[in-house]
Amino acid sequence: MLRYFLQRLLLIPVLLFLFSVMVFALVQAPPGDYLTSYIATLSSSGSSLDDAEIKALEQQFGLDQPVYIQYIRWIQSLLRGKLGLSLEYQRPNIELISERLGLTLVLALSAFVFTWIVAIPLGIYSATHRNTVLDYLTTVLNYIGVATPNFMLALILMWWAYSQFGLSITGLFSREFEQAPWSFAKFIDLLKHIWVPMIVIGIAGTARLTRIMRANLLDELNKPYMISGRARGLSEWQLIMKYPVRLAINPLASTIGWYLPELFSGSLIVATVMNLQNIGPLLLRSLINQDMYLAGSILLIYCFLAIVGTLISDILLAWLDPRIRMEKS
């Protein structure tokens, strides 16, 4: 177990290195760079930079160097824990990102908790009350939940709340708290706002997880140990919770591997629609404006989160299921 864990940990830097090359190639790929578009904007507004100024800016950001030198410089500063300077905001990237990273994590994790809290009881209910009205209803909702892109759901909810109640459900804070420093009142305000995006982001995963849970449990419910349990006089509730549910939940742990990363990056589009201050909209803006170091840093953070998500699920699975543990050692 420990060896397996260490192996996986050692793999992280290797993966991150590969991803960093890939990410840099990506943010470097669009024709032109930030400066060319910056100069274009300036000249369209009537002002211009003289050659000396352009040279100075190019040097400052290392844009005059060949690509591989730019990459090495970027990696060097990354290793020193610096994420470079945003070309657009003229602020350190680390500041821009850390402002929003917390909210990204909170949003993804709350959606995750929502998913599990809803999906598992619903799956258990559906499987144990097979072919009842509620089971059918759950199945229908599941199909629709899986089929609805989350930004579409966000749009529908926004429109509905606005046209019915005149409410705006965008953003994570009320206006007075947006710029305010963290306080208890701000936290309460966040709780008031976070549940809509939480449901929007989590609903597709909830639908899928409910289906998996239901199917897994149905497989277990027909096994002979259920009959023997009943014969020994276990109450139905005890019997189901103690054996088949535990077995049916195990495979769900493997879903964390794809689900957590999906939540991190899935919130990206919803965040843009609902104006949530997480790193999604920041990435989108930096990509469009070719703010390449900022975009690169954010992409790398997403990669890191994806790797960690997979790692957590693999370890959890090995810990939960002795069969996998034996195989690995």
Which residues are at the interface with another protein (CB under 8 A)?
A: 15, 18-19, 22-23, 26-27, 29-31, 143-144, 146-149, 151-152, 155-156, 158-159, 162-163, 168, 170, 261-262, 264-266, 268-269, 272-273, 283-284, 287-288, 295, 298-299, 302-303, 305-307, 310
How far apart are CB 276 and another protein at their closest, in Å?
Answer: 14
Question: Could you tell me if 321 and 311 are in contact, meaning their C-beta atoms sit under 8 angstroms apart?
Answer: no
Identity of the residue, 75 or 155, whose beta carbon is nearer to another protein in the bound complex? 155
Half-sphere exposure for 238 (CA within 13 Å, toward CB): 6
Q: Is 85 helix (H, G, I), strand (E, B) or coil?
A: strand
How far apart are CB 186 and another protein at their closest, in Å?
Answer: 24
How far apart are CB 202 and another protein at their closest, in Å?
Answer: 16
Identity of the residue, 217 or 271, whose beta carbon is nearer to another protein in the bound complex? 271
Among candidates 294, 299, 302, 298, which has minimal Cα distance to 88?
A: 294
The two three-digit tokens of residue 221, written as one number: 């419910």
Question: Could you tell me if 286 and 88 are in contact, meaning their C-beta atoms sit under 8 angstroms apart?
Answer: yes
Degrees, nearest 5: CA angle 133-138-144: 130
Q: Is 223 helix (H, G, I), strand (E, B) or coil?
A: coil
Identity of the residue, 159 or 319, whose beta carbon is nearer to another protein in the bound complex? 159
Identity of the residue, 69 or 144, whose beta carbon is nearer to another protein in the bound complex? 144
> Cα separations (Å) of 38 from 67, 125, 285, 289?
20, 58, 14, 9
Start-to-end Cα distance in the chain: 7
How far apart are CB 30 and another protein at their closest, in Å?
Answer: 5
Identity of the residue, 122 or 295, whose beta carbon is nearer to another protein in the bound complex? 295
Residue 271, class by beta-carbon neighbours within 10 Å (0-12 exposed, 13-18 middle, 19+ buried)? buried
How far apart are CB 59 and another protein at their closest, in Å?
Answer: 25
How far apart are CB 143 and another protein at their closest, in Å?
Answer: 6
Identity of the residue, 121 or 149, whose beta carbon is nearer to another protein in the bound complex? 149
| CB burial readout 79-99, b (16+ within 10 A) else e | eeeebbbbbbbeeebbebbee
Residue 76, class by beta-carbon neighbours within 10 Å (0-12 exposed, 13-18 middle, 19+ buried)? exposed
Q: Which residues pair with 92 in a beta bridge?
A: 85
How far apart are CB 155 and another protein at their closest, in Å?
Answer: 6
Identity of the residue, 110 or 286, whose beta carbon is nearer to another protein in the bound complex? 286
How far apart are CB 180 and another protein at their closest, in Å?
Answer: 24
Identity of the residue, 249 or 287, whose beta carbon is nearer to another protein in the bound complex? 287
